[in-house]
């Protein structure tokens, strides 16, 4: 992982992933059915990204932007998503 912010988001995602058993059902995601934990992790990451943005005096992102960084089936899913979140946290 290239930077501290990416590592921070990766660790936050890893900690949140331990709660996936709390969401064993499926949820609607813009017409697609996905495991509910995906929706909860996206919302959590959006909160984390927006907290970092607030520290920098930047406006919040739309939580749907988290989904842009998801690479389903990628063995480095967590790392790629964390990198995406780090980019969102600092972009103007």
Q: What is the pLDDT of residues 37-69, one digit of tens each?
A: 999 999 999 999 999 999 999 999 999 999 988
Q: What is the pLDDT of residues 8-37, one digit of tens each?
A: 999 999 999 999 999 989 999 888 898 999
A 10 A CB-CB count for 68 gives 10
Tokens found for residue 28: 């609607």
Rounded to two decimals, what is the model's pTM?
A: 0.87
C-alpha to C-alpha distance for 73 and 50, rounded to whole angstroms: 26
According to DSSP, residue 74 is labeled: -
Tokens found for residue 73: 């089936």
Tokens found for residue 90: 């600092």
């Amino acid at each position: 992982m290239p930077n501290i912010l990416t590592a921070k988001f990766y660790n936050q995602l890893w900690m949140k992933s331990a709660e996936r058993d709390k969401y064993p059902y499926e949820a609607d995601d813009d017409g697609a059915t996905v495991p509910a934990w995906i929706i909860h992790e996206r919302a959590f990451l959006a909160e984390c990204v927006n907290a970092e943005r607030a520290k920098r005096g930047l406006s919040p992102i739309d939580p749907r932007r988290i989904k842009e960084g998801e690479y389903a089936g990628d063995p480095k899913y967590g790392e790629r998503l964390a990198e995406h979140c780090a980019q969102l946290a600092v972009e103007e």
